[in-house]
Amino acid sequence: MLTSPITKIETFPVPPRWLFVRVETEDGRIGWGEASLEGHTEAVEGAFASLRDRFIGSDPERIEDVWQTAYRLGFYRGGPVLMSALSGLDQALWDLKGKALNVPVYQLLGGRVRDFVPVYAWIGGDRPSDVVEAARVRKAQGFTCVKMNGTEDMGWLDSPRSLDATVGRLEAVKAEGMDAGLDFHGRVHKPMAKQLARALEPLRPLFIEEPLLSEHPEAIEQLSKLTTIPIALGERLYSRWDIKPFLQAASVDILQPDLSHAGGISEVRRMAAMAEAYDVAIAPHCPLGPIALAACMQVALSTPNFVIQEMSLGIHYNTGGHDLLSYMSNPEIYDVKDGMVAALNGPGLGVEVNEDKVRRLSRDCPPWRNPVWRGPDGFVREW
C-alpha cells in the first residue's frame, strides 16, 4: 500500500456556502474534496455518517471500489445529496493518491491532452451598462468569455417585450469583444424559451444553458430542433444514467456535470467518455470553491471532449470576501491569461488548502438558503 487505512473523514461547512471534506490516513496523509450542495449542507453532512461507518479503516487507494460500494450498497441511489457526499469523498481520495505518488491527478487519469484550460466567469447586472462594467472587470482579470443570466424574471407566458432586455445585454457584452454564454437557469418555460432562443440566434451566443429544466427532456429535444445555438445543461444531473436520455435524443451539445454533485472525478470521467461517443462536449459546472475547481481542472486537462471551465473568481457572488482564492495557500495556480489557466502541476489536486482558516471559519458558519423569488402575481419562481 502507498498509504495506510483511512482513520478520519471530516466535513467543514465554510462561507459563503461550501462544504469541504478532509480525509486522513493512519500515517498522517491528508486528502481534500468538496461536497458543496448549496442550500442543503446539513443533508450532505448527514450522508457522511454512513460513509464514515463504511470506509474508516478502508484502503484509500481502492477509489473505484469505494465509489461502487458507496453507490450500490446504499440501495437508494443517486440524487443530489448522496451523490454530493460521494463526490467530496471521491475527490479527496484522488487527492490522497496523487500526493502519495507525488503526481497531479491528471497523470493518474492518463496524462494531459492539453496544456491550458479555457475558462469563463460569471457576470451579473440587469442593464446593458451593468454587464458592460462587469465584463470589463473580467477582461482585466484575463477572461475572454463570460456567462450571464438569460433573464432575471419571466412568467410562464410573458410579454414578448420581456425578451428585449436579454438581447440588449448580450449585444452590449459582445460589443466589448467578448464571447458570452447565457444561463436561462431553468426559469424560462417552453413558450418563452422558444422565442428567446430565436431572438438570440443572430447574436451567436456561445451557448444557452438550461434553456428548460432538465426534468423536461422531451421539451429540450423539441427546442434543440428549433435553434442552431448550442444547448448546454447538466448541473442538476448526477450520474451517467441521468445523462442517457439527452445523449440518446441528441438534444444537448454541451454537458455541464458538477464534480461536487455528480459523483466526483470518477463519475464525471465516465460521463465525459459517454458524451464523446455522441459528439457532445463537457464543460463542468463550478460556481464553487478552490477544491471543486481543482478537481474540474484535473478532468479538463485529461479529457478529449472538454471545451471550457466555469470558475468563480472575484465578483461571481457577493461572498463577503470569501472568494475561492481566500482558502488557498497557492492562489497563483488560478491565474487567468488570455482566457486560460495553465495546467495544475502540483501533487494530487494541486490546491494547497489553508486548513487553519477552514477550521476557524467552519466553527460558526451560518447555514445558507436559496433566496425566494416571486413574480408580480405572488407565485414562486425558479431561483
Q: Could you list the active site residues?
A: 185, 285
State the virtual CA torsion across 268, 269, 271, 272 in degrees, nearest 10. Answer: 120
Side-chain half-sphere CA neighbours of 206 within 13 A? 22
Query: What is the SS3 assignment for 206?
Result: coil
CA distances from 236 to 2, 81, 153, 216, 231 (A): 36, 11, 20, 12, 15
The DSSP-derived string for 124-145 is --SSHHHHHHHHHHHHHHT-SE
Alpha carbons 59 and 57: distance in angstroms, whole number: 7
Query: What is the SS3 assignment for 358?
Result: helix
Contact 343, 112 (CB under 8 A): yes
Give ∠ CA 294-295-300 in degrees, rounded to 5: 95
The DSSP-derived string for 256-277 is --BTTTSSHHHHHHHHHHHHHH
* Torsion sign over Cα 243, 247, 251, 255: positive
Phi and psi at residue 254, to the nearest 5°: -135, 125
Contact 190, 223 (CB under 8 A): yes
Residue 55 CB neighbour total at 10 angstroms: 21
Alpha carbons 345 and 277: distance in angstroms, whole number: 29
451593468: which residue's cell? 130
Q: Name the β-bridge partners of 120.
A: 310
The DSSP-derived string for 85-109 is HHHHHHHHHHHHHHHHHTSBHHHHT
